[in-house]
A and B are shown apart, each in its own frame.
Chain A
Amino acid sequence: SAVISQKPSRDICQRGTSLTIQCQVDSQVTMMFWYRQQPGQSLTLIATANQGSEATYESGFVIDKFPISRPNLTFSTLTVSNMSPEDSSIYLCSSCYRELEQFFGPGTRLTVL
């Protein structure tokens, strides 16, 4: 199995500010994913991050709001920009290993006041 860590584990932020979430995996992976889990809801894919190329965003998510970096094969960041209370969610990163098995990080619980 893979070990994925995220920082911070939780944060409380003021509206209009930005937060960068870090995701570290313990082995090199080609694909990393960022998901959002809004309160009481399921997980929704934000974007796919491949090393060496721009992230691919899902419908409803844009790079200006959720810029993503993928500087190497074990690390990625997601920034939530110009935050509003509607951005309060758990943000999770994951990576895909053999046989399409995805491992998830523990999540970052974001509260925007």
Chain B
Amino acid sequence: AQSVTQLDSQVPVFEEAPVELRCNYSSSVSVYLFWYVQYPNQGLQLLLKYLSGSTLVKSINGFEAEFNKSQTSFHLRKPSVHISDTAEYFCAVTPNNQGGKLIFGQGTELSVKP
């Protein structure tokens, strides 16, 4: 069985500060990794994904995540956050033998304050 743990349920930061949202997973098979974002009163959107290749993946709005196989982690980082980054962030995995279904972490609420 697979599981995903997001170590922080809430992360308050000030605008322009760096942020790291932590994600660890457990799986007996290889997985694909994802970060999804849910802005207030909006639907769930894919932020970035790791399928293969370079372990560092980046989004168009400045977020990046690094797949660390030895530590089974996929932490999300941004060097300087904006007020508009305030949202709920979900880490998720798809086992590579289970046809795309997602197993989500508990979510991290990122609150960016001026």
A106 touches B43 (CB 8 A): yes
Between A31, A33, A102, the greatest number of chain B beta carbons within 10 A of the residue's beta carbon is seen for A102
* Chain A facing B: main interface SS: strand
Which residues in window 74-113 of A have CB below 8 A to B? Answer: 92, 94, 96, 99-107
- Inter-chain CA distance A113–B38, complex, in Å, is 27
Interface Cβ pair total, 8 Å cutoff: 49
* Chain A neighbourhood of B101, CB < 8 A: 33, 45, 48
Partner of A42, one of B94, B100, B106: B106
* Chain A neighbourhood of B42, CB < 8 A: 106
Knowing A102-B46, A105-B43, A107-B43 touch, does A45 contact B103 (C-beta < 8 A)? yes
B44 within 8 A of A: yes
Whole-angstrom distance between the Cβ of A38 and the nearest chain B Cβ: 11
B62 within 8 A of A: no
A43 within 8 A of B: yes
Knowing A100-B32, A101-B49 touch, does A33 contact B104 (C-beta < 8 A)? no
Whole-angstrom distance between the Cβ of A17 and the nearest chain B Cβ: 26
B99 within 8 A of A: yes
- Inter-chain CA distance A94–B92, complex, in Å, is 14
A31 touches B43 (CB 8 A): no
- Inter-chain CA distance A44–B107, complex, in Å, is 12
B102 within 8 A of A: yes
A31 touches B99 (CB 8 A): yes
Which residues in window 22-67 of A have CB below 8 A to B? Answer: 31, 33, 35, 41-45, 48
Could you jot down 6 A-B contacts, CB within 8 Å?
Answer: A31-B99, A33-B101, A42-B105, A92-B43, A92-B44, A100-B32
Closest 5 A/B residue pairs (Cβ)? A96-B100, A104-B44, A106-B43, A42-B104, A43-B104
